[in-house]
Amino acid sequence: MAVRDIFDAVLDYEEDDVAELVQAEIDAGTDVHSILQDGLVAPLDDIGERFSAGTLFVPEMLMAAEAVQAGLDILRPLLTETGVKPIGTVVLGTVKGDLHDIGKNLVGLLLEGAGFRVIDLGTDVGAEQFIASAQENDADIIALSGLLTTSMPEMANAVATLQDANKTRNLNVKVMVGGPPVHHEFAMKIGADAYGMDAPAAVERARSFFTG
Ligand code: B12
């Protein structure tokens, strides 16, 4: 039994095996970060490469995503364990037109684990929905995820709409962005307050808004 078996089970689209193997690794005391990164996230890169190469298609990508999600469900309690009073509230979602949610979910789990209250709006979320939720929940941060290059203009639109709302609707919400097509320069160009390359970076950026 090894983390590599989880990797292989994802590539075999074996949801039940993935869940069982993740539980077995937890019971064996394997580092949670390794289960997550090497067992669950790494095979998705493999899947992405095969999709680009035209050797697998959307249904297989979806089955792999579901297998990963089954593993994440088992890891969830370990990633979100916290006894502390919320540091702040984050409204999180994948931008309009984009249905990818695994990375966003991970960002949400780690933020929760770090003591943030997370309002997850899901995928395909429009700029106004983010702002309405931030107002309703008195949020401190909006976190935008996007995986498609075609999501980048929508991200820019969401940031611009939020900046406008901060001025005209008496809001004071920071915005951070992330996802594979996004990078620091793009984030700064569209006026975001921060960019994070992965879920731990999302936590670090979110914390920095409170510590300066
Ligand atoms: C699984 C998957 C799917 C699944 C998604 C299921 C789901 N529930 O999410 C399904 C099958 C639905 C899918 C559909 C499509 N997909 Co797809 N998909 C993938 C795949 C294989 C994995 C994505 C993933 O989950 N990665 C793992 C997570 C953990 O990583 P992550 O998302 O990058 O998140 C991390 C960081 O980016 C960061 N992060 C993420 N969000 C945020 C937010 C903030 C604020 C911060 C700070 C950080 C942060 O932290 C995360 C954790 O560390 C990728 C390939 C790949 N290697 O990524 C292609 C990929 C993203 N898909 C792609 C494409 C083309 C599509 C489709 C257009 C295919 C089609 N022809 O229909 C559709 C689009 C549907 C839509 N409208 O969104 C392309 C995108 C190309 C591009 N540059 O635009 C990729 C890259 C595949 C490829 N190599 O071509 N897909």
Binned at pLDDT 50, 70 and 90, residue 83 comes out as low
Looking at residue 175, what DSSP letter applies?
A: E
> Tell me: the pLDDT tens digits for 108-135?
999 998 889 999 999 999 999 999 999 9
Rounded CA-CA distance 108/91 in Å is: 9
| 3-state SS, residue 166 | helix
Is the shortest distance between the CB of 103 and ligand 1 below 6 Å?
Answer: yes
Domain limits, CATH 3.40.50.280, in the chain: 89-211
Is the shortest distance between the CB of 120 and ligand 1 below 6 Å?
Answer: no
Question: Closest Cα to residue 177, out of 143, 134, 128?
Answer: 143
Nearest CA to ligand 1 atom 30: 103
Residue 145 has pLDDT above 70, yes or no: yes
Binned at pLDDT 50, 70 and 90, residue 169 comes out as confident
CA–centroid distance, 29 to ligand 1, in Å, is 30
The fold for domain 89-211 equals: Rossmann fold (3.40.50)
| 3-state SS, residue 32 | helix
CA–centroid distance, 84 to ligand 1, in Å, is 32
CA–centroid distance, 82 to ligand 1, in Å, is 28
DSSP notation for 55-121: SS-HHHHHHHHHHHHHHHHHHHHHHH---SPP--EEEEEEBTT----HHHHHHHHHHHHTT-EEEE-
The fold for domain 3-80 equals: 1.10.1240
